[in-house]
C-alpha cells in the first residue's frame, strides 16, 4: 500500500532522502501520504509550501505544486496565495524553529485570521539542520549546542498558542502514533479554516545523543510513555499533566468564517458584484 502511495505522491528522482538515520520526519511523511489517499486529494488543486530546515525537505519530495520559501515566512507566502486562489488547497509544512522563532509572528496571525490553510509542524525540539541549537520548543534543562548547561527558558506549547490565537482546528500526535497522525492530517486537510497539527518527532543526532537517548527507538518509546489521549487528560489535574504530551483533536470548531471568504465578498461588494 505505502509503495503505491510513494509512486503516486513522491518525486522519485529526488530519492533517496537526505534525513539522518532514525529521523522521524520520514514517518510523518508516510502518514501524510496515507492522509492524502484517505481524503482523495486532488494533486492539481493542491499547493504545498515550506520554510527552511529539515521539515522543509518533506515538500521537496512531494510531487505536487510546491513552494520552498524563505525561513519562517511560509505562512506569509501561503496567506497571499490563499487570498488570490481560493480554488486550491493550501498546505504548509514547517519545523518548530521555522514556525515559532523567526516565523512566530506569522503563525499567531494566521491562527487569528482563520485563513483556510492547513499547517503541519514537525516538532523535534531542536534546530536539527543547522547543528542542534535550542529552539522555542526545547524543554527546560535539556541540552543543545547553545544550551550546554541545560535550557533555562520554558518551552512554547504550540497547541495552546494556536488555540489562544484563534485557530479553529488544533491537534497533536507523535511519530509513535502513526494511525492517529494519519487521521489528524486527514481531518485537518478537510477542515475549512485554519487547521494546525503539531507532530512530535525525534531527532536522534542533534537532540537525542546530547540528552542521553541511546537510539531512535528509545525516543519513540519516550514519546509513547509521556503521551496522554485528550479524553483522558480531561480528568487529570495540571500537576498530573506536567511533562506530558496531550494527543488527539484538542479543538475543532464547526462554524468557520474564513478570512479569504470575507476578503472576497468585500472585493465583490466594492466592484458592484462584478468578477
**Percentage of the chain surpassing pLDDT 70?**
97
pLDDT classification of 86: cutoffs 50, 70, 90: confident
- Per-residue model confidence (pLDDT) at position 156: 93
- Per-residue model confidence (pLDDT) at position 259: 74
Per-residue pLDDT at 230 exceeds 80: yes
Residues in a beta bridge with 119: 92, 196
Rounded to two decimals, what is the model's pTM? 0.93
Rounded to the nearest angstrom, the gap between the alpha carbon of residue 192 and the centroid of all alpha carbons in its chain is 17
- Compute the average pLDDT of residues 212-217: 96
Query: Mean of the per-residue pLDDT values for the chain?
Result: 93
- Per-residue model confidence (pLDDT) at position 257: 65
Give the phi and the psi of residue 177 in degrees, each rounded to 5: -100, 75
- Per-residue model confidence (pLDDT) at position 64: 96
Q: Return the residue matching grid coordinates 541511546.
A: 214
Per-residue pLDDT at 109 exceeds 80: yes
- Per-residue model confidence (pLDDT) at position 264: 76
State how far the alpha carbon of 112 is from the alpha carbons of 5, 33, 176, 198, 238, in Å: 34, 28, 30, 17, 26
Q: Which domains does the chain have, with CATH numbers?
A: 2-273 (3.40.50.970)
- Per-residue model confidence (pLDDT) at position 274: 54
Say if CB 20 and CB 204 are below 8 A apart: yes
- Compute the average pLDDT of residues 161-179: 96
- Per-residue model confidence (pLDDT) at position 61: 96
CA distance 248 to 238: 18
Per-residue pLDDT at 235 exceeds 80: yes
CA distance 83 to 75: 12
First-to-last C-alpha distance (Å) of the chain: 44
Summarize pLDDT for 16-72 with one digit per residue, the tens: 999 999 999 999 999 999 999 999 999 999 999 999 999 999 999 999 999 999 999
Which of 61, 99, 78, 58 minimizes the C-alpha distance to 185? 58
pLDDT classification of 256: cutoffs 50, 70, 90: low
CA distance 124 to 213: 14
Summarize pLDDT for 110-168 with one digit per residue, the tens: 999 988 999 999 999 999 999 999 999 999 999 999 999 999 999 999 999 999 999 99
Amino acid at each position: 500500500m505505502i509503495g503505491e502511495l510513494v509512486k503516486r505522491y513522491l518525486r522519485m528522482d529526488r530519492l533517496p532522502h537526505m534525513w539522518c538515520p532514525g529521523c522521524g520526519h520520514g514517518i510523518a511523511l508516510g502518514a501524510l501520504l496515507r492522509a492524502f489517499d484517505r481524503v482523495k486529494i486532488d494533486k492539481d488543486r493542491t499547493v504545498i509550501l515550506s520554510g527552511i530546515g529539515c521539515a522543509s525537505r518533506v515538500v521537496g519530495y512531494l510531487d505536487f505544486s510546491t513552494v520552498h520559501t524563505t525561513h519562517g515566512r511560509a505562512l506569509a507566502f501561503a496567506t497571499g496565495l490563499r487570498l488570490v486562489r481560493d480554488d486550491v488547497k493550501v498546505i504548509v509544512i514547517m519545523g518548530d524553529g521555522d514556525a515559532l522563532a523567526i516565523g512566530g509572528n506569522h503563525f499567531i496571525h494566521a491562527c487569528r485570521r482563520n485563513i483556510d490553510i492547513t499547517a503541519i509542524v514537525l516538532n523535534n525540539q531542536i534546530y536539527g539542520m543547522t547543528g542542534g541549537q535550542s529552539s522555542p520548543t526545547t524543554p527546560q534543562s535539556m541540552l543543545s549546542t547553545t544550551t550546554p548547561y541545560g535550557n533555562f527558558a520554558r518551552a512554547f506549547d504550540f497547541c495552546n498558542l494556536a488555540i489562544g490565537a484563534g485557530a479553529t482546528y488544533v491537534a497533536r500526535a507523535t511519530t509513535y502514533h502513526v494511525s492517529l497522525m494519519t487521521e489528524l492530517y486527514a481531518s485537518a486537510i478537510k477542515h475549512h479554516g485554519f487547521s494546525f497539527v503539531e507532530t512530535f518527532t525525534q531527532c536522534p543526532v542533534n537532540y537525542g545523543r546530547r540528552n542521553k537517548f541511546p537510539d531512535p527507538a528509545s525516543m519513540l518509546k519516550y514519546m509513547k510513555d509521556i503521551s496522554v489521549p485528550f479524553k483522558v487528560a480531561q480528568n487529570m489535574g495540571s500537576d498530573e499533566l506536567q511533562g506530558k504530551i496531550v494527543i488527539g483533536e484538542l479543538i475543532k470548531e464547526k462554524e468557520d468564517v474564513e478570512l479569504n471568504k470575507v476578503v472576497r465578498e468585500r472585493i465583490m461588494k466594492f466592484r458592484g458584484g462584478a468578477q
